[in-house]
């Protein structure tokens, strides 16, 4: 009976309309860097060496940095949100210095990861709370989750499991695939075009 049930579920998934994030644009175009999980899309792997360096600079796990970049911009250095957040890490304008170029990848990463590092510190190293703080402001850390904005709840719902998958050493992430299908496909297509990836 269990074999029939599993076979049936596999058939359903095989015929589903969902696209796997690890197959977009193709799994073969992914280059994985030691220390950076292979679960991330090619547009994040494109920044692999820099993510490792930026993470080391701010003492932030590169897989957590990659998780944030995945959800925020899918690796598009020119991403701009309706709220005014800019670049790879979707940093708000007030985090930049007057002479900063918000779209310079290194500058954007340094401002974004400085904020993520402060959220991690305030959260006592709890990555789930740090993700909430990154999205909704560090003032959310310590507040009851039911008071968080819907956007922050959604951000943590996807971000925390994606990060856990990255840390687990697995080669694909169903959690990332769900995020990709629900929110990330067009964002990642735009990033791929911007980066000149297939």
Overall average pLDDT of the 103-129 stretch:
97
pLDDT of 14 over the 60 cut = no
Percent of the chain beyond pLDDT 90? 80
Q: How far apart are CA 76 and CA 79, in angstroms?
A: 5
Q: pLDDT (tens digit, 9 = 90+) per residue, 76-112? A: 999 999 999 999 999 999 999 999 999 999 999 999 9
34 pLDDT tier (thresholds 50, 70, 90): low
Selected residue with higher pLDDT from 174 and 1: 174
- Written as one string, the DSSP assignment of 32-66 is --TTS-TTS-HHHHTTHHHHHHHHHHHT--HHHHH
Percent of the chain beyond pLDDT 70? 83
Q: In this predicted structure, what is the pLDDT of residue 35?
A: 84
For residue 14, CA distances in Å to 7, 126, 174, 181, 189 come to 10, 36, 14, 15, 23
The one-character DSSP state at 29 is: G
Residue in the block written with tokens 């095989």: 14
pLDDT of 135 over the 90 cut = yes
CA angle 140, 82, 195 (to 5 degrees): 105
4 pLDDT tier (thresholds 50, 70, 90): very low
Residues belonging to the active site: 72
pLDDT of 178 over the 60 cut = yes
Q: pLDDT (tens digit, 9 = 90+) per residue, 152-161? A: 999 999 999 9
Q: Structural domain boundaries of the chain? A: 2-195
Q: In this predicted structure, what is the pLDDT of residue 17?
A: 39
The closest alpha carbon to 89, from 97, 80, 100, belongs to 80
Q: How far apart are CA 178 and CA 107, in angstroms?
A: 30
Helix (H) or strand (E) holding 26: none
Selected residue with higher pLDDT from 33 and 159: 159
N-to-C CA span, the chain: 43
Which two three-digit tokens encode residue 120? Answer: 């991690």
Q: In this predicted structure, what is the pLDDT of residue 11?
A: 38
pLDDT of 24 over the 90 cut = no
pLDDT of 140 over the 50 cut = yes
Confirm if 77 and 93 have CB atoms less than 8 A apart: no
pLDDT of 12 over the 50 cut = no
Overall average pLDDT of the 177-182 stretch:
96
Other beta carbons within 10 Å of 71: 23
**CATH number belonging to domain 2-195:** 1.10.530.10
Residue in the block written with tokens 């297939």: 198
Contact residues for 70 (Cβ-Cβ < 8 A; gap 6+): 40, 41, 44, 162, 176, 179, 184
């Amino acid at each position: 009976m269990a074999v029939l049930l599993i076979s049936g579920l596999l058939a359903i998934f095989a015929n589903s309309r969902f696209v796997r994030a690890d197959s977009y644009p193709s799994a073969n175009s992914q280059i994985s860097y030691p220390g950076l999980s292979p679960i991330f899309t090619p547009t994040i792997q494109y920044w692999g060496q820099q993510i490792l360096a930026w993470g080391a600079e701010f003492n932030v796990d590169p897989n957590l940095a990659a998780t944030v970049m995945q959800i925020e911009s899918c690796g598009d250095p020119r991403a701009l949100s309706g709220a005014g957040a800019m670049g790879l890490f979707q940093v708000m304008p007030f985090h930049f210095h007057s002479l900063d170029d918000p779209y310079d990848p290194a500058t954007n990463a340094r401002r974004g990861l400085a904020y993520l590092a402060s959220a991690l510190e305030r959260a006592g190293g709890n990555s789930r709370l740090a993700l909430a703080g990154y999205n909704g402001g560090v003032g959310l850390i310590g507040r009851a989750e039911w008071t968080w904005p819907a956007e922050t709840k959604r951000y943590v719902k996807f971000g925390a499991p994606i990060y856990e998958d990255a840390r687990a050493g697995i080669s694909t992430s169903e959690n990332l695939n769900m995020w990709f299908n629900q929110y990330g496909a067009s964002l990642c297509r735009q990033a791929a075009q911007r980066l000149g990836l297939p």
